[in-house]
Amino acid sequence: MHFFGPSAHHAGLGMLHEHMVKVGQQFPDFTLHGYCGGETRDYTISKYKGRWLVLFFYPLDFTFVCPTEVKGFNDHFDEFQKAKADILGVSVDSVHSHNAWVMHEFGGKLNYPLLSDFNKEITELLGIDTTDSGGLVALRATFIVDPKGILRYMVVSDNNVGRSVSETLRVVKALQTGGLCPVDWKPGEKLLKK
């Protein structure tokens, strides 16, 4: 596991939490197995350099709030693509679970990959791990990474509350302006300063 820049240091049995990424830092580069369009393959974060990247972590497949979020990102997929932003969903489920869930919940139609952090290494690295579901799962976390691999935005919330996909899209577009955006800014509105 490496950051886009210098390699992260390993210590003892794994990554130390002092290496957790912060806004303004290089986002960690990692490869996870994922499922999309009936196929499983490896997805590497650094391959998305040159485009905006939205990674959203969710607790588990076959739950209650998670399908609403996955569907929400799918419903807004074209808008993210127009904004030159790719989407990756991540949970600690296996790719086989992702496959079964996408077939069951979405009729096999999901426009973006769901990645498997089955060993929970990335969830722990990012400091978004919790045991509130009986086993270790990810909290609801959203990361927006710019085309240079820099983390520009992150939000982590309680697993009982679904995130706002439209707010995530708004933040992507606000970050892309490069300017100062006031409260509740929307695309097309005046910036405070460019």
The CA–CA distances, whole Å, from 74 to 63, 145, 169 equal 17, 19, 12
Catalytic residue among 55, 66, 110, 172: 66
| Termini Cα distance of the chain | 36
DSSP state of 62: S
Q: How many CB atoms lie within 10 A of CB 150?
A: 16
pLDDT tens, residue by residue, 117-173: 999 999 999 999 988 767 789 999 999 999 999 999 999 999 999 999 999 999 999
At 69, is the secondary structure helix, strand, or coil?
helix
76-115 per-position pLDDT tens digit: 999 999 999 999 999 999 999 999 999 999 999 999 999 9
Residue 66 falls in the annotated catalytic set: yes
Q: Mean pLDDT score of the chain, rounded to an integer?
A: 90
- Give residue 194's pLDDT: 85
Structure-token match 């807004």, residue found:
76
Q: Which domains does the chain have, with CATH numbers?
A: 25-177 (3.40.30.10)
Model pTM score: 0.88
